[in-house]
Structure 1
Amino acid sequence: MANNYLNLIKPSSKWKLVASFTQSLPNPNLFHHFSSTPHDRSYLKKEQALLSLFKKSYTKTDVQQLHAHVIRSGFTQNLFVVGKVIVFCAVSDECLMDYAVSVFEKIANPDGFLWNTMIRGFGRINKVDKVFCYYKMMLENGHIVDNFTLSFLLKASGQSGSVLLGKQVHCSVVKLGFECHVFVRNTLVHMYGMLKDVFVARQLFDEMPEPDLVGWNTIIDCHVCCGKHKEALDLFSRMQDAGIRPDDATLVVALSACAALGALELGRWIHSIVDERFLMKDVSIVNSLIHMYTRCGEIQEARRIFDKMNDRNIVTWNTMILGLATHGHVQDALSLFSSMINKKRVPPDDVTFLGVLTACSHGGMIEEGRQYFNRMTNEHNIEPTIKHYGCMVDMLSRGGLVIEAYNLIKNMPMKCNAIVLRTLLAGCHMHGNIELAENVRRHLLEVDPDHSSDYVLLANTYASLEDWNQVSRIRRSMAANKVKKPSPGNSFIGVP
C-alpha cells in the first residue's frame, strides 16, 4: 500500500521530505524499524515530528509525501496524525476531496472530528448530496452531532438554495437543543440570508439577547444580499449604538450598501474610519471604497485611491476599469486595461472583459469591441457569458448595426434572455427598424410576455415613423392584455 502512495510523488523530490523527517528523529533507523506502541517514548517522538512537518506542508505534493510516510511509519490508525491529511484536503484551496475519501475509507474508527471535516470539505465544493450522505453515515456509525456538524449542514443547505432542506435542518437544530448556541444561531441567520428569506433571518437575529460581532455582520450581510440596503445601513447604525465596534468585514458590507444606495456622505464617513484605523492596506476594504466611489460618481476620488495602492488584485483592476467605463471615461478604461495586461502582467477574467466591452459600447468603438471580444476567447481562453453577448448587442445596436446584433443573438451558444432582447428592441427604436422590432417583440412575448416597456418601445418606434394607426393598435393591445407599469419611476437626490 505504501508503494502505491509513493508512486504519486515525483522521483526527484519524493524523498526530500522523508529525509528531512528521518534526520529530525533521535534515531533515524526508527523510521525503518517501527515496532513501538502509542505509550513508548519513541512513538510519541515520532508522532510529534510528523505533526511538526505537517505545519510546514503547503502543497498537495507535500501532503502526499507525508501521507506515504505516515503509512510506512504505521500511523494510519492514529486519528490525530492521519486527520491532518484529511484536514488539508478539506480546507486547502485545492479542496482534494477525492484524496480525502481515499484516506478516510481506510480508517477503521473515525471520530466525530473527522466526520465533520469530511462534511465540511464537501460543503466547500458545493456537493450537497455528499454532505448529507456523510451526515447519514455519521449517524449510522453512532456518532453524536455537535454544533460544528449542524453549522456545516446549515451552510450546505443555504448553498443548495432549497428552503425545504434548510427548514428540515433547522428542525434538527431545535430538536437537538442547539437553537441558542451562538455559533449555530449565526449560521442559521446566514442560511436564511442565502435562501433570500430575510424576514426569518431578521426574526432569528432579533431573538438573540446580545448578538456578537459575527451576528451583526451576518444580519447586515443578509440584508445587503437580499437587496435591503437601507435596512442594512440602519442595522449598521444600531450595531454602533449597541457598543459593538465594526471590523473590516462590517465596513466592507456597509460600503457595499452605500454603493447600492448612492449614500456618498455615509461612504465618506466610513472612509474616515478606515483611515483612522490604518486599514488602507487591506485590499478588500480598499476595493470596496473604490466600488463605492465609482457607483456614487466620484471617479477622481476612486482613481486617487487606486493609484495609491501598492498591492492590487484582479478585483481592484476590474472595479476601476468598470467604473471608468460606466461613467464614459472610455480611453482611461482601455488604457488601464492595457497597463494591467502589459506592465503588471495580471491575467484578466470574464469581469475584466465586461468592463472593456462596456467601454467600447459607450465610446461607439465597434471595431475595437469586436477585437476585444475575439481576444477574450482566442488569447485568454475565456468563454463569453450572456452578459458579454449583451454588451456586444448593446454596442452594435447603438451603432445602428441591429441586423448584425440580431444575427449574433441567433448564434449565441445559450438561450437569449429578455434583457438582451430589450437592448436590441431599444436599438431598433433608435434607428427606426420597425420590421426587426416586430420580430424581436415576438421573441420577447415568448420570454417575458407582460412587460410594459416592450409595448412602449414598439409603440414609440411606430410613433417615430408617424404611423399612428399602429401606435393605437399597440396601445389597445396593451390595454386588452391588462399590461401596466409594475411600479412608478422615482429619483433619489442626496442632500448634504
Structure 2
Amino acid sequence: MGLSRAQSPVFVIRRLRAWGIITQSTFMRTLFLTFPKQLLWRSIKMHFSFLSPAEAHSKHAFEKTEQSLLSHFDSCATMRGLTSIHAQMIKSGFDQHVFVAARLVSFCCVSIHGSVDYAVSLFNSLKWRDGFMWNTMIRGFGRMNRAHEAVLFYQKMREEKDPDSFTFCFLIRISSQLSEVGFGKQLHCSVLKHGSGFNNYVCNNMVHMYAMFKDIKAAQMVFDEMTDRDLISWNAIIDGYVNCGEYKEALRMFSRLMRDGFIPDEVTLVVALSACTELGAPDFGRWIHFNIDNSLKLQKTVSIFNSLIHMYTKCGAIDTAIEVFNKMTNRNIVSWNTIILGLAMHGQATKALRFFDDLLENRLEEPDGITFLGALSACTHTGQVDEGRRYFELMEANYGLSPNIKHFGCMVDLLGKSGHLREAYNLIKTMPIECNAVVWRTLLGACMMHGDVELGEKVSWHLKKVEPDHSGDFVLCSHMYASVGRWNDVLEVRGQMKQMQVQKPEHGNSFTSVFAITN
C-alpha cells in the first residue's frame, strides 16, 4: 500500500524546512532519528524520484561526507585518530548519525586500541541508540572484565530496548567473570521470557556458562532441550564435562557425537584427547588417532598432534609419542615443549635433552620458559649439574627469559640432589622473587638426604616462617636428626608436633623432593 503525502516523512521534513524550523544541514540526520527505517527507505525512494537540482546536490554532498568519514575508520589505529574523526563528525553535523556513531562506539569497545570510557561519554551524548550500540557497549565492558558495569548497562537497556540474542550471548559470556552462577540463572529466565531459548548461539553459551560454574547437570539439561544442535553445541558439552572432571562422561558424549553423524573438528578432538589424558585411556586415544589419520584436513592441524603427544607421554607410550612428533610436518614451540617435558617426566632425560639441544642448535623455534623448564627437569633426573647451570644461565643471557619460581625450584632440586647444598641455599637467598614453601621443602629434603643438619636447621627455620604447621616438614626434620643419631632432637620435634597438634601424614602418603612441574 502506498504512502500519502501527509504520511511521508520526507514530505513532513520538507515542510519543516520550508517553514525554517529545520536547516538543510540537519535534513538527513532528522530523517534517521525520527522515523522507522522501513518506512523511511520507502519514502526516500519516492522522494528521490522528484528531487530538485538543489536537493540532488544536497544528497550527493551528504553521501560524500558520509563515505569520507567512514573511510577514515579503515586506517584508524589509535584513540588520537579516533578523536580526530569524532571532531570531523561534529563539525560536519554527523555527530548524531546512527551508522557513523556506531562505528565510533564499536572502535572504542572492540579494538585493542579503544577506550570503553570514551565510548560511555560518546554513548551518553547520543539522542538515539539502537540495539547494536547497546550490545556493543555491553560487549566492550565484558572485554575489559568490567562485568558489573555491563550488568548495569543491561538494566538501563531494558528501559529503552528489548534485549536480543546478541545481548544474551554477550551477557552469558560476561557472567563467567562474576563469582556466582546467580546472574547466569537470571539470564536463563530472561532468555526463555524473550523467546531466545531456541537460538543455538544463546544455548551454546549457556551450556558453556553452566559448565564453567561446575553445574554440569544444568548444562546437560540445556543441551538436551536443544532441538537443532550443531558441532559447537557438542564441543561445549564435551568440554564442560572435562572442565568438571567427568572424563568418562566426556568420552561417552564424544561417542554419541560420532554416532549421530557429526564430523569432529580441531576443538572436539583436542578436548576429547585431554579427557583420554586425564583418564589414562590410551586405547580410546588410539581410536581417535586412527580417525585423525583418515582425515587429510586434520592431519595438518598442529594442535591435535600436540594433544596426541601429550596424551601418549602421560599414558606412558613414549615411543608412540616420539613417532607422532617425528611424523609432524609442521611444529610449533608447544610441540617441542610437550615432547621434552613428557620425556623428562618419564625419566628419559637423555632423549629429552637431545630434543632440546636439537631445538637450540638448529634454531627451529624460539624456546620459552616451559622449554627450559623441561630441560632443567631432565638435568635433575640425570644429575647433570653443569648442563643445568648452563641452561639456567642461557635463559636470561641469550633469550631474555626471566626465571620464575619453577625454574628456581628445578635448580634447587638439581643442586640439592647432587650435594651442592650451599650453592642451592645461596641461590634461594639471591632469588629476585619470594621463595615458597615447596622450594624450601625441596632443599630440606636434600639436607636430610646428605645429612647436613646445620644447613637443614636454617632451612627449617625459613620453612616455618612460610608454612608453620605443615606435617611433612616436621617429619623431614625428625628423619634428618635420626639419620645422624640425634635422638633427643627427634623427641623434641615430636613434642612440638604434639604441642601444635600437627598430625602425621596418613599411611600411604609420602614426601618426594622432586619439584612438581605442570605444563
Alignment deviations for residues 256-287 of structure 1 (CA, whole Å, 9 cap, x no partner): 12222322111111111111223121121111
Paired residue secondary structure (2:224): coil
Would you say 1:485 and 2:505 are equivalent positions?
Answer: yes
Question: Which residue does the alignment assign to 1:209?
Answer: 224
What's the offset of the Cα at 1:87? Answer: 4.8
Question: Which residue does the alignment assign to 2:26?
Answer: none
Question: Which residue does the alignment assign to 1:351?
Answer: 370
Would you say 1:168 and 2:186 are equivalent positions?
Answer: no
Would you say 1:177 and 2:192 are equivalent positions?
Answer: yes
**Matches of 1:484 and 1:37 in 2, distance apart?**
91
Question: Which residue does the alignment assign to 1:218?
Answer: 236
Give the counterpart letter for 2:281 in structure 1: A
Question: Which residue does the alignment assign to 2:303?
Answer: 284
Alignment deviations for residues 305-347 of structure 1 (CA, whole Å, 9 cap, x no partner): 2233232222222222222332344454344344444534533
Question: Which residue does the alignment assign to 2:143?
Answer: 124
2:381 aligned to which of 357, 362, 369:
362
When Rg is computed on C-alpha atoms for both structures, the one with the higher figure is 2
Question: Which residue does the alignment assign to 2:251?
Answer: 233
Give the counterpart letter for 1:392 in structure 2: M
- Stretch of structure 1 that moved more, 397-406 or 339-348: 339-348
**Matches of 1:330 and 1:443 in 2, distance apart?**
32
Would you say 1:266 and 2:281 are equivalent positions?
Answer: no
Would you say 1:146 and 2:161 are equivalent positions?
Answer: no
Question: Which residue does the alignment assign to 1:454?
Answer: 473
Give the counterpart letter for 1:357 in structure 2: L
Answer whether contact 1:36 1:43 (CA < 8 A) is retained: no
Answer whether contact 2:207 2:219 (CA < 8 A) is retained: yes
Paired residue secondary structure (1:96): coil
Answer whether contact 1:70 1:82 (CA < 8 A) is retained: no
Question: Which residue does the alignment assign to 1:387?
Answer: 406
1:391-410 matched pairs, under 5 angstroms? 391-410=410-429
What's the offset of the Cα at 1:133? Answer: 5.8
**Matches of 2:55 and 2:427 in 1, distance apart?**
71
Paired-residue identity, %: 45
Paired residue secondary structure (2:299): coil
Alignment deviations for residues 175-200 of structure 1 (CA, whole Å, 9 cap, x no partner): 56368455344434433443xx42x2
Give the counterpart letter for 1:462 in structure 2: Y
What's the offset of the Cα at 1:448? Answer: 4.1
> Per the alignment, do residues 216 and 395 of structure 1 end up closer, same or farther by CA in structure 2, a change over 3 Å counting?
same
1:97 aligned to which of 114, 117, 121:
114
What's the offset of the Cα at 1:386? Answer: 1.9
Q: Please, which runs of 5 or more residues in structure 2 have no aligned partner?
A: 1-53, 511-519
Would you say 1:275 and 2:293 are equivalent positions?
Answer: yes
**Matches of 1:255 and 1:48 in 2, distance apart?**
50
> Per the alignment, do residues 180 and 323 of structure 1 end up closer, same or farther by CA in structure 2, a change over 3 Å counting?
same
**Matches of 1:75 and 1:37 in 2, distance apart?**
19
1:292-311 matched pairs, under 5 angstroms? 292-311=311-330
Question: Which residue does the alignment assign to 1:415?
Answer: 434
Aligned residues: 444
Q: Please, which runs of 5 or more residues in structure 1 have no aligned partner?
A: 1-34, 491-496
Paired residue secondary structure (2:391): helix
Alignment deviations for residues 228-267 of structure 1 (CA, whole Å, 9 cap, x no partner): 4344334434555666554321210111122223221111
**Matches of 2:62 and 2:224 in 1, distance apart?**
49
Answer whether contact 2:86 2:95 (CA < 8 A) is retained: no
Question: Which residue does the alignment assign to 1:155?
Answer: 173
> Per the alignment, do residues 471 and 249 of structure 1 end up closer, same or farther by CA in structure 2, a change over 3 Å counting?
same
Would you say 1:432 and 2:451 are equivalent positions?
Answer: yes
Question: Which residue does the alignment assign to 2:8?
Answer: none
What's the offset of the Cα at 1:397? Answer: 1.6
Alignment deviations for residues 75-132 of structure 1 (CA, whole Å, 9 cap, x no partner): 665544564565566556xx2232x654674462443223323432443343445544
What's the offset of the Cα at 1:355? Answer: 1.9
> Per the alignment, do residues 474 and 220 of structure 1 end up closer, same or farther by CA in structure 2, a change over 3 Å counting?
farther
